[in-house]
Amino acid sequence: YVMRQRYTSDVLVIGTGGAGLRAAIEVHDQGLKVLLVGKRPKADAHTVLAAGGINAALATVDPEDTWAIHAADTLQEGRMLGDPRMVELLCQQAPQAIAELEAWGMPFARTSTGLIDQRYFGAHRYRRTCFVGDYTGLEIINALMREVERRQIPILERAYISDLLHTGNRVNGAYGFWLADQRQFMIESNAVILATGGHIHIYQRSSSRRRENTGDGMALGLQVGAHLADMELVQFHPSGMIFPHELAGTLVTEAVRGEGGRLYNRHGERFMQRYDAERMELSTRDRVALANYTEIIEGRGSEYGGVWLDISHMPASLIRERLPRMVEQFQAVGVDITREAMQIAPTAHYSMGGLKVDPFSHATNIAGLYAAGEVTAGVHGANRLGGNSLAEILVFGRIAAQHAGEYVRQQSEQPIQAAQIEQAAERLAWASQQAGDVQRSLIEQLQQVVWHGAGVVRNEQTLEASLDQLHTLRLQAQQRSVGPADLAATLDLQSMLLTAEATILAALMRPESRGAHQRSDFPATDPLWQRTIVIKPYRDQTDQLRLQLDTELIPTASEEVQAAFSQQEYSIAGRLVE
Ligand code: FAD
């Protein structure tokens, strides 16, 4: 018999990043009872890492800007794989999200006349990125947390959700444990919003840095029958640190290149000349990532497997003034970037795929289950524009909560069945018998497999090989091992195995190169593949979860947005920042 705590709420929000906090505020303001749960300490979710800014066509600095041009840039730069309905909603409502943040005390940078200042981000036609220095994400979390606390919304922090509970085809709660002492709890709730972030931790190098972004929300959704989309589309940032090992992948901001940083290979050649002679280091994110990757793979990289990013030709005073966080970040590892070059390599940065949701309500295909933020698919297509994610988490955090609230009001309560609770408890009992060090080592192996098989450039051979290796890792993860348990690592690995498989299968299915999805065996973009790859889970005879793939056509954009499409292949303007 397991002792467990029991909580109840009308709507449960899983995740205390920007999407989760914004959703919880909306549920509360509708007069419903809401509970927030996060596996990180509260106010320290992944969102705090976001630096550069948040987009909205406010037209404070460039009066020509409109929501329709913002939508057109997002769709075109996403190589036409984004869902126009979702993108249009995002761009129409982003200004409202900024106004809310302002009302909640967000200290936005201002123009000389006191308006909210806006700066350029890569591939935007106009300046539409609002910011607070280079710590915009942290200030968003601070502003939202103040509102959450003012409303006295309860938060369970350092609490890990391991299962969703469901009766029939309807989600009505969740099960989990406290990271501190493994005590278990269950939550009864008429609706659940997943705001658990992405899955980039399946890569050996990722800008997420810590035990987060392990794809939990996508896996929790799959387990109860929810569909995923766009899982082959993972954004790689051109520049992540490569050593020391613990910091590998940590982001080196694009502002280094924006301020004049140059890329060199081992022969001292400024290689961007060969990839994009016109824009050089200021080319688009996917192109620079591909260039860095190619130099390294073809043997022109450094001994540690990177290339050199050098800004030391600029005055030291300017570097200190414009890039203080980078100076500090490298100083801490003994590198003085005012005098020497940094070694960098591409790093997995953002999950453009995730749970497939209705573009208007952000409901999944499972009753009672909603999702918002990086855990969802639909906005970014094959290449996310910098600054769009922070807008997305606020706009769709609120929208998902609105619709979850409406749903709850129309439903009668559906008691949780004992069998569901037992199943969830059994899974934790199994996990508590697995040796933590074995599971952690399997995580590292998985990260290497995915990095090499489904990384910046993939092909049928690397993808098939990684699928085989993943299968072996899955069998090893299931084997009994002896030693102190690490419940979180064991469950993280389960989610990573599932979401890595989804990413590899979808990457195998798409026989073209488009944006972040680069296939060396299919280097061209195929117009026939302007389609979404959808992943549907099912159970085989042995009750194992299996993934089935399908494709869907993408609807056309509204006339207003089509009229705003750029005539150039892809628009580029301004300097690149995050
Ligand atoms: P997250 O912030 O990832 O929050 C997820 C939450 O879910 C966390 O609280 C986590 O602990 C919790 N969780 C996950 N699994 C479980 C579980 N099983 N049980 C309980 N809780 C769970 N975007 C921009 O628009 N502009 C930028 O300038 C920008 N800069 C960035 C810089 C860096 C270095 C990085 C890494 C990203 C940047 N991004 C930027 C992207 C952006 O920060 C993220 O996409 C966004 O913050 C995601 O928010 P979220 O609320 O969806 O998820």
Q: What is the pLDDT of residues 313-348, one digit of tens each?
A: 999 998 998 888 889 999 999 999 999 999 999 999
Q: Are 571 and 79 in contact (CB under 8 A)?
A: no
The string of pLDDT tens digits covering residues 18-39 is 999 999 999 999 999 999 999 9
- Cβ(249) – ligand 1 distance below 6 Å: no
State in Å: Cα 545 to ligand 1 middle: 27
User: Which structure tokens are listed for 236?
Assistant: 């790689």
Token pair belonging to 532: 């979404």
**CB of 373 closer than 6 angstroms to any ligand 1 atom:** yes
Residue 131 has pLDDT above 50, yes or no: yes
Cα 301 to averaged position of ligand 1 atoms, centre (Å)? 31
| Ligand 1 centroid distance, CA of 389 (Å) | 9
Across residues 484-495, what is the average pLDDT? Answer: 97
Is residue 55 in contact with ligand 1, taking CB distance under 6 Å? no
Candidate list 46, 166, 257, 403, residue with the active-site label: 257
Mean pLDDT of 503-512: 98
pLDDT value of residue 284:
78
From 47, 144, 392, give the residue whose CB has the most ligand 1 atoms within 8 Å, as the site to mutate: 47
On whether the CB atoms of residues 170 and 366 are closer than 8 A, the answer is: yes
> 532-555, pLDDT tens digit by residue?
999 999 999 999 999 999 999 999
- 577 pLDDT higher than 50: no
Lowest mean pLDDT among 379-383, 385-389, 413-417: 413-417
Least confident of 118-127, 236-245, 483-492: 118-127
**Per-residue pLDDT at 485 exceeds 80:** yes
Of all residues in the chain, the percent with pLDDT exceeding 90 is 83
pTM (2 d.p.)? 0.95
Q: Is the pLDDT at 575 greater than 60, yes or no?
A: no
Instruction: Compute, in angstroms, the gap from residue 208 CA to the centroid of ligand 1.
Output: 8
pLDDT band at 246 (very low <50, low <70, confident <90, very high): confident
User: Does the beta carbon of 390 sit less than 6 angstroms from any atom of ligand 1?
Assistant: yes
CA 371 – CA 349 distance, rounded (Å):
20
Mean of the pLDDT values across residues 169-191? 96
> 211 C-alpha vs ligand 1 centroid, how far in Å?
12
Q: Which atom of ligand 1 is nearest to the CA of 38?
A: 21
The residues pairing with 156 across neighbouring beta strands, listed in sequence order, are 37
Is 46 an annotated catalytic residue?
no
The first and second tokens of residue 169, run together, are: 């085809």
- Cα of 46 vs centre of ligand 1, distance in Å, is 4
Residue nearest to atom 35 of ligand 1 (CA): 50
Please list, in sequence order, all residues whose beta carbon lies within 8 angstroms of the beta carbon of residue 3, skipping any fewer than 6 positions away. 183, 184
pLDDT at 578: 41
Out of 44, 54, 145, 196, give the residue to mutate to test ligand 1, the one with the largest number of ligand atoms within 8 Å of its CB: 196
Instruction: Give the position of tokens 């100076």.
Output: 327
Whether ligand 1 lies within 6 angstroms of the CB of 20 is answered as: yes
- pLDDT on residue 572: 40
**pLDDT value, residue 503:** 98
**Residue 100 pLDDT more than 70?**
yes
% of the chain beyond a pLDDT of 70: 97
Chain-centroid distance, C-alpha 13:
17
**pLDDT tens digits for range 107-116:** 999 999 999 9
pLDDT (mean) for 195-219: 92
Question: Cα Rg for the chain, rounded, in angstroms?
Answer: 23
Q: What is the CA(62)–ligand 1 centre distance, in A?
A: 29
Beta carbons within 10 angstroms of residue 250's beta carbon: 20
Q: Does ligand 1 lie within 6 Å of residue 51's CB atom?
A: yes
**What's the ipTM?**
0.99
CB neighbourhood size of 454 (10 A): 28
Cα 453-298-203 angle, rounded to 5 deg: 30
pLDDT number for residue 184: 97
Catalytic pick among 237, 285, 362, 398: 237
206 lines ligand 1 (CB under 6 A): no
Q: Judge whether 362 counts as a catalytic residue.
A: no
Mean pLDDT of the chain: 94
Instruction: Report the pLDDT value the prediction gives residue 62, as an integer from 0 to 100.
Output: 95
Higher pLDDT, 320 or 152: 152
Task: Please compute the mean of the pLDDT values over residues 557-561 and round it to a whole number.
Answer: 97
Query: Residues 64-81: pLDDT tens digits?
Result: 999 999 999 999 999 999
- Ligand 1 binding pocket mutation candidate from 40, 206, 251, 389 (most atoms within 8 A of CB): 389
Task: pLDDT band for 359, please (50, 70, 90 cuts).
Answer: very high
Residue 247: what pLDDT? Answer: 83
- Residue range 203-215: mean pLDDT, rounded: 87
Cβ burial of 57 (10 Å; 0-12, 13-18, 19+) is buried
Give the model confidence (pLDDT) of 404-434 as tens digits.
999 999 988 788 999 999 999 999 999 999 9
User: What atom of ligand 1 comes closest to residue 251's alpha carbon?
Assistant: 34
Residue 283's pLDDT is what?
Answer: 82
Query: How does residue 13 score in pLDDT terms, banded at 50, 70 and 90?
Result: very high
Cβ-based burial of 309 (10 A; exposed 0-12, middle 13-18, buried ≥19):
buried
Give the mean pLDDT of 387-406: 98
CB 477 within 8 A of CB 486: no
Q: Is the peptide bond before 244 cis (omega within 30 degrees of 0)?
A: yes
Q: 371-402 burial by CB neighbour count: b if 16+ within 10 A, else e?
A: bbbbbbbbbbbbbbbbbbbbbbbbbbbbbbbb
